[in-house]
Amino acid sequence: MTYRICKTFEIESGHMLSKHTERCRFPHGHSRRIEIVLSGDQLDANDMVCDFKTIKLALGELLDQWDHALLVNSDDPVRESLGALGERIVVFQGRDPTTEVLAEYIFTFLSTRIASDPTYSSATGGSYRFPAGLKLDRVRVWETSSSWAEYADGAAAH
């Protein structure tokens, strides 16, 4: 049997899709919901697949960078004129920051974190790690209440 958990985050972010032929090429924003689905064949010593706090700590800095930021393609000719926004500009190299690209990026980022087996410390001094055998099944990013994109491990998708 497999146990599965989901941790959801919400951020506000804007993007510009330079390859789009209509309005989406202009700056616009979304209230994004991000779902992280992990699984394991057994529970850890605390009877959990993974402590939700571990996921929060692993993704916190990345999602904070994207929150209230404008995501842009490095090749967008307008990018240079956005310099005044400083740290609130997040550049994707050669790719439009579509919802699909964001889902893939988060999946790859978190997969790397899980594989590198780091220890995370909370502000209150707690110590958190991903348990052995944990598997990232999918990342789903909602762009609107009716539209989402998902990036998944091929084996988990079946």
CA-based nearest residue to 94, from 79, 116, 111 = 79
pLDDT at position 157 is 52
Q: Tell whether the model's pLDDT for residue 28 goes beyond 70.
A: yes
pLDDT at position 107 is 98
Mean pLDDT of the chain: 93
pLDDT at position 90 is 93
pLDDT 10s digits, 5-20? 999 999 999 999 999 9
Tell me whether strands 28-40 and 3-15 are parallel, antiparallel or unpaired: antiparallel
**What is the pTM (predicted TM-score) of this model?**
0.93
Query: Percent of the chain scored above 70 by pLDDT?
Result: 96
- The mean per-residue pLDDT over the stretch 77-94 comes to 83
Domain 3-152 classification at class level: alpha beta
Q: Residue ranges per domain, the chain? A: 3-152
The amino acid at residue 63 is: L
Beta strands per DSSP E along the chain: 3-15, 28-40, 69-73, 89-92, 119-121, 127-129, 135-144, 147-152
Q: Tell whether the model's pLDDT for residue 109 goes beyond 80.
A: yes
pLDDT at position 155 is 64
Q: Tell whether the model's pLDDT for residue 93 goes beyond 50.
A: yes
Lowest mean pLDDT among 5-19, 51-65, 67-81: 67-81
| Residue 5 to residues 10, 73, 90, 93, 147, Cα–Cα distance (Å) | 17, 32, 29, 32, 22
pLDDT at position 147 is 97
pLDDT at position 158 is 46
The residue whose two tokens read 């009716």 is: 146
